[in-house]
Amino acid sequence: MATEASAAQRRSHGTLRRELRFWEAIAVSIGIMAPTAAMALNGVAPAGLVGRAVPLAFLFAAIAIGLISYSFVRLTTFFNRAGSTYALAGATLGPRAGFFAGWALLATYSCFIAANIAEIGLFGGAFLDGAGIWHNPEWIVISLIAAALVWFLAYGDVKVATRALLSFEGISVALIVILVAVIFGRVIGGTAPNGQGFTLAPFVPASGTEIGAIAFASVFGLLSYGGFEGAAALGEETNNPRRNIPLAIAVAVAFCGVFYTVVMLAQSLGFGIGASGVKAFSTSGAPLGDLAQQYVGGAMQDAINLGATISAFASCLGCAAGASRILFALGRDGFLTRRLGDASGRTGAPTKALAVVMTFGVVVAVVLRINGTSSTNVFFFLGTLGVLSMLVAYFVIQFGAAKFLHLEGREPRWRVVVIVLALAAIVYTFYKQVSPTPPAPYNLFPLIIGAWAVLGVAITVAFPGLTRQIGQGLSKAEGISARS
């Protein structure tokens, strides 16, 4: 009878279900990175900094993120538990570091939810207006409708959510691939609008462009990879996780590294690498849309805006899955209330944790809209906050990997050079977000994230019982007990 009662209680509260395959795990990493949305926005600022060398800057970023992702790929071959950085840092550095890393990444994904809600409104409004469906639509209305759909999908079976992610991002990436193919075809064939020809000169800085400027511009490329580790949050829901999770992270990073570099080359050549082309690229409000209009026509421009909308939606869904599972793992181990560690008995989704993170995203977007903030600024404000917190989490993981892999002798010690280079990339990226001092309100964002980090440390100090509970929770997971 006791066994039956225990089983009934588990069904009542529900647990995460191990039912995802490799392709469903990789969907979360790619979905959070949102390659279509990233390519729709992130090349403009680098074009203003390094001219024609934008593809080179993104190539530098691909190398840097490859170094940073190494720690995640290697650690997930040993540890797979819901919570991503929470579990990885906890397993390698102890429960206090685990809570802190999870706390930081929870802020990242939560901020990204709000940013993506606004981005859906931004690109969705552009599509509806351009297609003549809804003239000058109110972005928050589109955003709220999309947020409700994201919540619905994330509440359901995780297999449905991840397959939706893969389908949505696949459609939007396919649209960009078509545009890129047309651009390359016309450039190589000599029929480009302004007579541009094909060249690999964008991989060589123009005279007067220093390597330091290329490195600075690569920061924008690096930010395009935010969330590459998303699959790690599905460690308890993926089949054969010690194979599929690290493979999903590695393949997602490799795919986006190639995709971003090729797409930026197409954009640079599409606008032209001369002074006028660089100016057009660096001042464009929607470079992919502008190129679609020039090379194909208005219908393609609408399709690209629709694709960017779909990509932002997929990213929001991926962030909702990631954030809810981090909060689920924290709640299960005693943070705030163990009810956060409940999952639906029907779908296996962490419904209470999901409600918290989605409510946060919706409330932030609505409050900023009431304050008169544009959808573009909501996206960049929350995105910047999320990136800063993300870098903090990545920083902690590098030390965990160095200790577990190299100091404890699981890999040759010379390989620690990869982690040293990754730390340098993280520190440089963070530094460039704070120096020189950015204009308001960006100058406040490092202080906000600093306060969040201090709060995370204070929680572990003020509530030692929580740390003990976290340690006990980690000790029950396979392979973690020796290092909690």
Query: If we measure between CA atoms, which residue out of 127, 129, 180 comes closest to residue 308?
Result: 127
Query: Tell me, what's the pLDDT at 475?
Result: 64
- 414 has pLDDT over 60: yes
Please, which pLDDT band fits residue 237 given cuts at 50, 70 and 90? confident
Taking only the tens place, the pLDDT of each residue in 27-41 is 888 888 888 888 887
According to DSSP, residue 443 is labeled G
C-alpha to C-alpha distance for 324 and 357, rounded to whole angstroms: 6
Query: Tell me, what's the pLDDT at 209?
Result: 85
According to DSSP, residue 231 is labeled G
Taking only the tens place, the pLDDT of each residue in 115-164 is 999 999 999 999 999 999 999 999 999 999 999 999 999 988 777 777 88
Average pLDDT estimate for 433-447: 88
C-alpha to C-alpha distance for 260 and 483, rounded to whole angstroms: 38
Please, which pLDDT band fits residue 182 given cuts at 50, 70 and 90? very high
Query: Tell me, what's the pLDDT at 34?
Result: 86
Taking only the tens place, the pLDDT of each residue in 278-321 is 999 999 878 998 999 999 998 999 999 999 899 899 899 989 99
Record the pTM: 0.88
Most confident segment among 38-52, 259-273, 338-352, 470-484 = 259-273
Please, which pLDDT band fits residue 358 given cuts at 50, 70 and 90? very high
248 with 29: CB under 8 angstroms?
Answer: yes
Residue 421, judged by CB atoms within 10 A of its CB (0-12, 13-18, 19+), counts as: middle
C-alpha to C-alpha distance for 99 and 122, rounded to whole angstroms: 34
Please, which pLDDT band fits residue 168 given cuts at 50, 70 and 90? confident
Taking only the tens place, the pLDDT of each residue in 54-68 is 999 999 999 999 999
- 3 has pLDDT over 70: no
- 219 has pLDDT over 90: no
Average pLDDT estimate for 410-428: 93
Query: Tell me, what's the pLDDT at 354?
Result: 95
379 with 119: CB under 8 angstroms?
Answer: yes
Query: Tell me, what's the pLDDT at 215?
Result: 83
- 260 has pLDDT over 90: yes
Task: Tell me the pLDDT of the chain averaged across its residues.
Answer: 88
Instruction: Read off the tokens for 370.
Output: 């009431």
Taking only the tens place, the pLDDT of each residue in 224-234 is 898 899 888 88
Query: If we measure between CA atoms, which residue out of 174, 171, 151 comes closest to residue 161?
Result: 151
Query: Tell me, what's the pLDDT at 121?
Result: 95
Rg of the chain's alpha carbons, rounded to an integer? 22
- 336 Cβ contact partners less than 8 Å away, ≥ 6 residues apart: 330
Instruction: Read off the tokens for 316.
Output: 């929001």
